[in-house]
C-alpha cells in the first residue's frame, strides 16, 4: 500500500515522465499547457496541448512553463503538475491520497529555482517532496553503480539543458551545465531555414526535421526531406527540399558547445578517477543522445568509449523513481 503512493517525477523542459516502482513509467507527456488567456483556465495538458501549438485562435495559447529545465511560470507549472498527479493517481489508484514524490532538478539550478520546484510539486498534492540532482538520477536510471567510489560520467542532453557530471560515491564530483539542448537545436533549424530559404517553419516542424534527418558532425550518406512553411516574401505556403548536410551545418555550433562542456568537465576530473573514465567511458542519456551519429561523433572527439543508456529518454525518470530506495543513502553522502 505504501510503495504504491511513491512516485518519481522527471520534470523536463520537453517532457514530464512519472515513474512508479511497481508499474515503471506510467505517464510520459509533453510539458505543454494550453490556457485561455481571458479566463486563465487550463484547457489541456500534455500531448493534447502540444498538438495545439501554433494552431490555436488568439485567446488560446499553448505554453511551455518550463524553460532550461527550471520553472519559468510558477502558476501554470503548478496547474500542469496537478493534472499530471491526477492522471498518475488514476493509473495507480492511490490508496493514500497524497504520494511521496522524488523530483529531479538540474545540477546548475539555484536555491530559488530548487525551492520553486519543491513548492510547485508540494502544492500539486504531494505529501513529502525530495529533490535529487538530474545527473545522479540519470546515472541510477542507466544502472550505474553510483554509490561506489568509482567515476561514472553522465552526459544528459535534455530539451532545455545539457548536463555533464562525474558522479562517485553517491554525489556529484564535478559538473557543468549549459542551457543548450534539443530546444536550441530546433531553434537553430528554424533560423537556418529562415535565413537560407526565406521560409518560416514552426517548432514542431523543426523537431521533426531534427529527428528524421539531423546528424551529428560525422560523415554520412546524405538524405533529403520535403518540408512546408510560409514564404516570407509572398506570404504563401511553400514546399522546399532540405538535406541532412544542411541540417548538420545548422546544428554545428550547438553541438560544438556540448562537446566543449564535456571536455571542460573531464579536465576538472580528479586524477584518481581519470583511470575509471578510460575503462568505463561516458554514458549518454536524454533525448539529444538519440541524434543520428551522436555516439560515434563523441567517441571520436573525446577518445573515450561512449555508451548509450538503455532507454535514454526514460533514464532520468527511472532513476528518480528508483532513488526512492536509496535516497537516504544519497542524502547522507551529500551532507
Q: 3-state SS string over 30-96?
A: ECCEEEECCCCCEEEECHHHHCCCCCCCCCEEEECCEECCEECCHHHHHHHHHHHHHHHHHHHCCCC
User: Is this structure's pTM higher than 0.85?
Assistant: yes
Main-chain dihedrals φ then ψ at residue 94, nearest 5 degrees? -50, 120
Mean pLDDT for all residues in the chain = 88
**pLDDT tens for residues 157-180?**
998 889 999 998 878 899 999 989
Residue 212 has pLDDT above 50, yes or no: yes
Going along the chain from its start, the domains and CATH numbers come out as 6-137+317-334 (3.30.420.40), 145-180+255-309 (3.30.420.40), 182-250 (3.90.640.10)
Q: Is 160 annotated as a binding residue?
A: yes
Q: Is 116 annotated as a binding residue?
A: no
State the pLDDT at residue 329: 62
DSSP 266: H
Whole-number percent of the chain with pLDDT over 70 = 95
Q: Provide the edge-to-edge strand list for the sheet that holds 224-231.
A: 199-200, 224-231, 237-243
- Measured at the CA of 189, the angle between CA 188 and CA 193, to 5 degrees, comes to 120
Residue 296 has pLDDT above 90, yes or no: yes
Q: Is 127 annotated as a binding residue?
A: no
How large is the average pLDDT for residues 59-80? Answer: 87
Residue 96 has pLDDT above 70, yes or no: no
How large is the average pLDDT for residues 208-236? Answer: 94
Quick check: 35 and 61 in contact, CB under 8 A? Answer: yes
Q: Is 88 annotated as a binding residue?
A: no
Most confident of 49-63, 133-147, 222-236: 222-236
Distance CA 162, CA 180 (A): 6
State the pLDDT at residue 328: 60
Q: Is 148 annotated as a binding residue?
A: no
How large is the average pLDDT for residues 204-216? Answer: 94
Distance CA 55, CA 90 (A): 30
Rounded alpha-carbon distances, angstroms, from residue 311 to 19, 65, 123, 139: 14, 25, 30, 12
Quick check: 69 and 103 in contact, CB under 8 A? Answer: no
The three cell numbers locating residue 20: 512508479
Q: Is 207 annotated as a binding residue?
A: yes
How large is the average pLDDT for residues 288-304? Answer: 93
Q: Is 266 annotated as a binding residue?
A: no
Whole-number percent of the chain with pLDDT over 90 = 48
Residue 1 has pLDDT above 50, yes or no: no
Which residues 6+ apart lie within 8 Å of 256 measured at CB?
A: 217
Quick check: 17 and 316 in contact, CB under 8 A? Answer: yes
How large is the average pLDDT for residues 251-264? Answer: 96
Q: Is 319 annotated as a binding residue?
A: no
38-42, 112-116, 226-230, 329-333: segment of lowest average pLDDT = 329-333
Q: Which of 168, 165, 169 is nearest to 134 (CA)?
A: 165
Q: Which of 124, 193, 186 is nearest to 158 (CA)?
A: 186
Q: Is 265 annotated as a binding residue?
A: no
Q: Is 98 annotated as a binding residue?
A: no
Q: Which of 173, 137, 168 is nearest to 286 (CA)?
A: 137
Quick check: 302 and 282 in contact, CB under 8 A? Answer: yes
Q: Which of 67, 66, 283, 77 is nearest to 166 (CA)?
A: 283
H helical segments located in the chain: 47-50, 74-92, 111-123, 134-141, 182-197, 203-213, 244-267, 271-280, 294-302, 315-334
Q: Is 26 annotated as a binding residue?
A: no
Quick check: 174 and 166 in contact, CB under 8 A? Answer: yes
Q: Is 50 annotated as a binding residue?
A: no
State the pLDDT at residue 290: 94
The three cell numbers locating residue 221: 550518406
Amino acid at each position: 500500500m505504501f510503495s504504491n503512493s511513491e512516485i518519481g517525477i522527471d520534470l523536463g523542459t520537453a517532457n514530464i515522465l512519472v515513474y512508479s516502482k511497481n508499474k515503471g513509467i506510467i505517464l510520459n507527456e509533453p510539458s505543454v499547457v494550453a490556457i485561455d488567456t481571458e479566463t486563465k483556465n487550463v484547457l489541456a495538458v500534455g500531448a493534447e496541448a502540444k498538438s495545439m501549438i501554433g494552431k490555436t485562435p488568439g485567446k488560446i495559447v499553448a505554453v511551455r512553463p518550463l524553460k532550461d529545465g527550471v520553472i519559468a511560470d510558477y502558476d501554470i507549472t503548478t496547474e500542469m503538475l496537478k493534472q499530471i498527479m491526477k492522471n498518475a493517481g488514476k493509473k495507480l489508484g492511490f490508496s493514500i491520497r497524497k504520494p511521496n514524490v522524488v523530483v529531479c532538478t538540474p545540477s546548475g539550478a539555484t536555491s530559488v529555482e530548487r525551492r520553486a520546484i519543491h513548492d510547485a510539486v508540494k502544492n500539486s498534492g504531494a505529501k513529502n517532496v525530495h529533490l535529487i540532482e538530474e545527473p545522479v538520477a540519470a546515472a541510477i536510471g542507466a544502472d550505474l553503480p553510483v554509490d561506489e567510489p568509482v567515476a561514472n560520467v553522465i552526459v544528459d542532453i535534455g530539451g532545455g539543458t545539457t548536463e555533464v557530471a562525474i558522479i562517485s560515491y553517491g554525489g556529484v564530483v564535478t559538473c557543468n551545465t549549459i542551457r543548450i539542448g534539443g530546444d536550441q537545436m530546433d531553434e537553430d533549424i528554424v533560423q537556418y531555414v529562415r535565413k537560407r530559404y526565406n521560409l518560416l517553419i514552426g517548432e514542431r516542424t523543426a523537431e521533426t526535421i531534427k529527428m528524421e534527418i539531423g546528424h551529428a558532425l560525422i560523415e554520412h550518406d546524405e538524405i533529403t526531406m520535403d518540408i512546408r512553411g510560409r514564404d516570407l516574401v509572398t506570404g504563401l505556403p511553400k514546399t522546399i527540399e532540405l538535406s541532412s548536410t544542411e541540417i548538420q551545418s545548422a546544428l554545428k555550433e550547438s553541438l560544438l558547445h556540448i562537446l566543449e562542456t564535456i571536455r571542460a568537465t573531464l579536465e576538472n576530473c580528479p586524477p584518481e578517477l581519470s583511470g575509471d573514465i578510460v575503462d568505463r567511458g561516458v554514458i549518454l542519456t536524454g533525448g539529444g543522445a538519440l541524434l543520428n551519429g551522436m555516439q560515434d561523433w563523441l567517441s571520436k572527439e573525446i577518445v573515450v568509449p561512449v555508451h548509450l543508456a538503455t532507454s535514454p529518454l526514460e533514464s532520468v525518470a527511472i532513476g528518480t523513481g528508483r532513488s526512492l530506495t536509496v535516497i537516504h543513502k544519497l542524502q547522507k553522502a551529500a551532507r
